[in-house]
């Protein structure tokens, strides 16, 4: 959250209220929070290809509040980065509300991560362990609501499901009663990783809610997104790995078009994206359009100039 950005980042498109988008009756296409990846440059790219709403990577609220260095490294935005949701890992209502107040002028809302299954997050009391602690979620939501003056500032949660779905429905009902703006449901349990997504469970949760619900899990194309939207009856779909592999998928492309690759190059260079992140995104984007030998060569490149030379030589643009 660098000062030179702050002066220019009060979002001019607050009229693009996510809540209004969810009530439009149209599929709302959402870029998921992805650690290391869903930063400003990537959000800028997917917005060019029909993404409606973007999340930041998960940020640990305690570090964000206590450390200027953490704020500078974890949160960067600009005027075109709207609508935007900042996702926090938190288990303390006061720290979360302090973090929300810091980002409030620069985002449309915050999201509480109640779905991350990684051991370190759960050991710290963050992420998916919160689906079993509805009282902590309630306290955090209430505190943010009390401390942030903007009534349009959203407070959402992202969850996984329980083995016993009645517990998940109960959690969601309690969250709705507390004032949560919407709920994103990843249709797997904490223990599940690559098993099929339980879309029927998401449908049942949606049927028990009055607030918007977003479906998440294993969506790799616009056709799949539309199918999940219809199957679950939800208000939007959230995509992570599918967008990493093809940032243009929401615009209907089956694989990453060359124009998208060069858009990424332009955006990343303009925004000063670190080389490792710049290169890693290209590796994901080019997965389907390169041979095994080409991957070996491209993945071994070690500088921006080498990447630009490779792209120019192989794709003639």
- Bind-site residues for FMN: 33-35, 87, 186, 240-241
- Tell me if the bond preceding 149 is cis, omega within 30° of 0: no
Give yes or no: 116 in active site: yes
Backbone angles phi, psi at 141, to 5 degrees: -60, -45
Which of 11, 51, 82, 116 is catalytic? The answer is 116
Backbone angles phi, psi at 108, to 5 degrees: -85, -15
Q: How far apart are CA 244 and CA 237, in angstroms?
A: 15
- Radius of gyration, CA atoms only, the chain: 19
List all residues 6 or more positions away from 20 whose beta carbon is below 8 Å from its beta carbon: none
List all residues 6 or more positions away from 223 whose beta carbon is below 8 Å from its beta carbon: none
- With vertex at residue 235, the alpha carbon angle to CA 232 and CA 239, rounded to the nearest 5 degrees, is 80
Binding residues: 33-35, 87, 186, 240-241
- Extract the tokens encoding 219: 């969506």
Catalytically annotated residues: 116
């Amino acid at each position: 959250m660098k000062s030179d950005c702050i002066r220019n980042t009060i979002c001019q498109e607050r009229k693009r209220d996510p809540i209004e988008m969810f009530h439009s009756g149209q599929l709302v296409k959402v870029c998921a929070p992805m650690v290391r990846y869903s930063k400003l440059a990537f959000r800028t790219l997917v917005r060019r290809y029909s993404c409606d709403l973007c999340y930041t990577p998960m940020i640990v609220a305690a570090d964000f509040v206590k450390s200027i260095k953490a704020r500078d490294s974890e949160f960067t935005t600009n005027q075109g980065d709207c609508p935007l949701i900042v996702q926090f890992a938190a288990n303390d209502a006061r720290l979360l509300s302090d973090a929300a107040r810091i980002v409030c002028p620069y985002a449309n809302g915050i999201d509480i991560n109640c779905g991350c299954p990684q051991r370190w997050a759960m050991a710290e009391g963050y992420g998916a362990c919160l689906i079993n602690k509805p009282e902590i979620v309630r306290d955090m939501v209430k505190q943010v609501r009390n401390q942030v003056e903007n009534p349009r500032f959203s407070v959402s949660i992202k969850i996984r499901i329980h083995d016993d779905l009645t517990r998940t429905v109960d959690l969601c009902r309690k969250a709705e009663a507390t004032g949560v703006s919407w709920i994103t449901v990843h249709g797997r349990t904490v223990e599940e990783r690559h098993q099929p997504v339980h879309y029927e469970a998401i449908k049942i949760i949606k049927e028990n809610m009055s607030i918007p619900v977003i479906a998440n899990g294993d969506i790799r194309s616009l056709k799949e997104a539309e199918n999940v939207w219809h199957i679950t009856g939800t208000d939007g779909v959230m995509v992570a790995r599918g967008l990493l592999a093809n940032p243009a998928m929401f615009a209907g492309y089956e694989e990453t078009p060359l124009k998208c690759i060069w858009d990424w190059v332009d955006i990343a260079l303009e925004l000063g994206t670190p080389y490792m992140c710049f290169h890693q995104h290209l590796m994901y984007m080019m997965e389907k359009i390169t041979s095994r030998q080409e991957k070996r060569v491209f993945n071994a490149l070690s500088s921006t100039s080498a990447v630009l030379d490779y792209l120019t030589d192989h794709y003639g643009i």
